[in-house]
A and B are shown apart, each in its own frame.
Chain A
Amino acid sequence: MSAETEHTNAEHRQTAAIGRRGALFKLALVLGGIAALAFVLEIGARIRARLAGAPWDAAAARRELTHALESFAADAATETAPGVADSALDSKGAAPDTAGLVDAHQALHPYLGFDDLRMHERLRAAIEASRSPDGFDVLVEGGTVAADFVGAGSERLSELLRAAPDFPGGANGPVRVWCEARAEFKQPQQANALACALAAGLEPELVITIDGFDDVAIALSNVAAGTHPLYPSAARWNVLAGNPTGDVRTLDRLIELRRRRARVAAFAERALARHVELSALAGSLALGKLHELRAEADAALAELDAAFKTFREGSAERGPKFTGSTDDALRCAVEAWGEGAFSMWSLCRARGIAYVHVLQPTLHDDGAKPASEDELALAAPDPLRLDAARLGYPALRARGAELALRGMPFCDASRVFADVRETRYRDASRIDDAGHRLLAESIARRALEELAARAK
């Protein structure tokens, strides 16, 4: 290697060393500049905050981030989302007035709208008994009055049936009266209850349906409550069916809320881990971002709240929108009552079961009963129930007569108290025990006619 080359290499090394030192110097300069800028900005941020009347408070910033982390943590969405915990509340946040209709035994039923859980066991017992070779099993369907009838009128009914010479159950055989009636049931609930009981294996010899009043009265009160007249009693159904998260739209909004809340929580967690509160600049930037994310979460909450409100006010669970008049609602109810009755008869006839459909009496049906002083003293009924009796009953009688012409065994018991002056009614439709015994006589007569006709 020549001396010239050596010299050149030494020059190169020297130049490279100077270059490296220069680069380091530049880097130090840049870092120093950044630090100085950050320092200036930090000071500026603190001065600005002080001038704005709110000096930078690191402890307060940390508290806010900690609070955001705690309150926006993952599972909080389901605990705080409106409409989940308070889905049974109305839009004003108050528990709806159910007048004690929905008790601990009441639950949603997929085919009857609602049911008393104790009925499961009763039906099981009825099925077992009805399959035994001895005895005559009578199934009673209907609403409140039908359910009362099983308790107060079934003994008289059994007595009258057994007393008839041609009674297929015999004079001494057991007559078992089973109740599948439920308070406030109306068509098609009775028809559905019968279809389900028969499908489950019930084998009665006679089915009696006692209904009419709830069919028209509840139809009108449903319309007043914004529920379709064909739907079950709004006072029970709307309370039990108010589950907004069953709707995938609200569930998706709930998921979006959870996602946005999780973003807030994750951001707060990161900010806390980096101790951003120590710097007024970084801390205020972080709090700004936190507020932005919280606003997004609040917007998602507002959307969810709106979805719940929409669900409560116009939900599909209230049935198709009904805009008709009282007459239209009654027409709808009477049509459903007639078709439900006809369906029940069809189901029984196909299985060789005798059937009687009874139009129950009601106090305010003109000509149904001369009201006693006690009955006159009963509190004035709801105008809707008066309309149901005065306008609905003539239509029910006419429809019943039509069905009878088509062969359906029909018992118009709406005049069963026409000549009774003593008090029989406890309210507009419910009757006392003596009233039920009298009703049993009408029903037994019609049932025996039907049994005799079938025997021929």
Chain B
Amino acid sequence: MSPDPVPRPPRRRLVRVAALVLGLAAALVLAEVATRVALARSGKPFDSTAAAELVGTLHSSLVDAAPRVRRIDEAAAQDVHSQGQRLHPYYGYDFQGYLNNLPTELAYHRSPEAEKSYDVVILGGSVAMSFLPDGVEALTAALRADPELATRPIMVLGHGRAAHKAPQQTLVLQYLLCAGAKPDAVIALDGFNEVAVGFQNERQGVAGSYPCGNIWLNLAGAVASDPPSLAAAMELRTRQLAVIDAAEDYARWDLSRFAVTSWLGLRRIESLRTGASAAALELERRVASSQAFTALSGPPNSGTDEQRIARLVRAWREDGLALHALCSARGIDFLDVLQPTALLPGTKKLTAREQKGNVANESWQTGVGLGYPLLESAGAELAAAGVPYLDATRVFADVEEALYFDTCHFNARGYAVIATEIGRALVAARARARSADK
């Protein structure tokens, strides 16, 4: 018979468990401290709020029509289709939200309320799209300086659409006017997409005057009619959905609470995002070799980079002239605003965070680098031709805090700054028009 094994004292087992738990906790604390120290030493100290906003903004760029600074909330997490793009016959593509809202907006234009109100339509790309709601309050406040608008109700109607560029602003306005819209003022807040997205189109072999190639070619069927392109589109979408899921997991588990969990979560998101970017490039390559590409990519363009940029800038200037013509013939106030961009050196002292987000592909960098000086000259020409114009490229020059979260999009504080300047410029333009009438 074997001897009974000596029973282990329960206290000893408890001590071992406690030591294990304490060791684990100590390891976690150590990892947390080490991560914070490492981040601080690399010049990017851990900021829980900023991390949550970073993930929310990335999520927004995949879920919303235009990216904005926000934390992921329940509503955003529930519907990833609320702002799907749809083909539009007169300006390339639109967003489901606008299409749904259009009948209501047109009914408003026929209402007595619209007669009383000063209705301002904002045109442009995604920066104009996000003007609502972030810029409305500051714009309204600035417009109150005009004696005629001091007490009049002011309604701001958003008609910016992500990646829209000349001539889409003119065509949106023409369509709205044909449909019965009767705005009192039109503001075009644009310039960036004209040279960045326009030049990206040129690089892809899509006409610079055509809508953003990545959106247009997909909606117009270049993808659906070509099985390899469709497979690439599905792969891209699958990867995008994985990024969306990872971002929502990050928010759901509140990973921004600790530096170590946040770092791990961000690494996972970044890795998935890299995969999605590669899939996007693959789709671009596939579509460019599809049969439908030639029919849908517009008239072929040629020339040097400088010649291409000059054509894009001309299109922007013509768009300003056209918008002004359409408005002035109807007694509608108009203001053309050249938007700012973090890619243009010397226009804002970028914070470390802004510098990190200020990353663009080669075509955007070249487009902005060559295009913005020409846009500024073209803007001066517009002003000389009598078009009310605001060069807002240096509107953030004196702001030290972080405003940009990527190359051209900025936060609510940025909108407050630019909306105030726009409001002032519009008031000044109205005053000039009044004195010219006298």
Contacts and interface: CB of A to CB of B under 8 A. Distances in A.
Interface of A: 12, 15, 75, 78-79, 84, 87, 107-108, 110-114, 117, 120-121, 123-124, 187-189, 191-192, 195-196, 198-201, 230-232, 237, 241, 243-249, 251-252, 254-255, 258, 315-317, 320-321, 332, 335-336, 339-340, 342-343, 345-347, 349-351
Given A123-B299, A345-B329, A346-B326, A195 B224 contact: no
A321 B168 CA distance: 23
Nearest to A338: B178
Q: Which 6 A-B pairs have the closest CB atoms?
A: A350-B325, A113-B89, A110-B92, A346-B329, A243-B221, A246-B219
A237 B89 contact: yes
B329 A349 contact: yes
Interface in B130-175: 166-168, 170-171, 174-175
Main secondary structure, interface of B, reads helix
B87 A230 contact: no
B70 interface: no
Interface in B321-365: 321-322, 324-326, 328-330
Contact of B314 (A121, A187, A201, A246): A201
B296 interface: yes
Contact of B233 (A124, A232, A251): A251
A241 B89 CA distance: 9
Contact of B224 (A84, A198, A248, A343): A84
B421 to A, nearest CB: 26
A318 B102 CA distance: 14
A243 B167 contact: no
Interface stretch (B183-191, B234-242, B246-254, B259-267): B234-242
B91 interface: yes
B167 A120 contact: no
Interface of B: 2, 80-81, 84-87, 89-94, 96, 99, 102-103, 166-168, 170-171, 174-175, 177-180, 209-211, 216, 218-221, 223-225, 227, 230-231, 233-234, 237-238, 241, 295-296, 298-299, 314-315, 318-319, 321-322, 324-326, 328-330
Contacts of B234: 78, 251, 254-255, 258
Contact of A87 (B91, B224, B227, B296): B224
A195 B171 CA distance: 8
Contacts of A196: 167, 209
A243 B80 CA distance: 20
B90 A111 contact: yes
A191 B174 contact: yes
Given A245-B224, A247-B86, A255 B178 contact: no
A188 B2 CA distance: 100
Contacts of A244: 224
Contacts, number: 173
Contacts of A108: 87, 220-221, 296
B116 to A, nearest CB: 22
Given A187-B178, A255-B237, A347-B326, A192 B224 contact: no
B211 to A, nearest CB: 5
B87 A243 contact: yes
Task: Pick the most buried of A231, A317, A339: most chain B CB atoms within 10 A of its CB.
Answer: A339
A373 to B, nearest CB: 40
Contacts of B328: 346, 350
A231 B322 CA distance: 22
A252 B79 CA distance: 12
Contacts of B94: 316
Contacts of A79: 227
Contacts of B2: 12, 15
A246 B224 contact: yes
Given A199-B319, A230-B178, A320-B99, A255 B238 contact: yes
B87 A245 contact: no
Contacts of B175: 188, 230
A297 to B, nearest CB: 15
A244 B179 CA distance: 26
A46 to B, nearest CB: 43
Contacts of A15: 2
Contacts of B325: 346-347, 349-351
30 contacts: A75-B227, A79-B227, A87-B221, A87-B224, A107-B296, A108-B296, A110-B298, A111-B92, A111-B167, A112-B89, A124-B299, A188-B175, A195-B167, A199-B170, A201-B314, A241-B87, A243-B221, A245-B223, A246-B224, A247-B84, A249-B84, A258-B234, A316-B86, A316-B99, A320-B102, A332-B180, A342-B330, A343-B177, A343-B329, A349-B325
Nearest to B177: A339
Nearest to A191: B174
A198 B168 CA distance: 14
A255 B245 CA distance: 15
Nearest to A237: B89
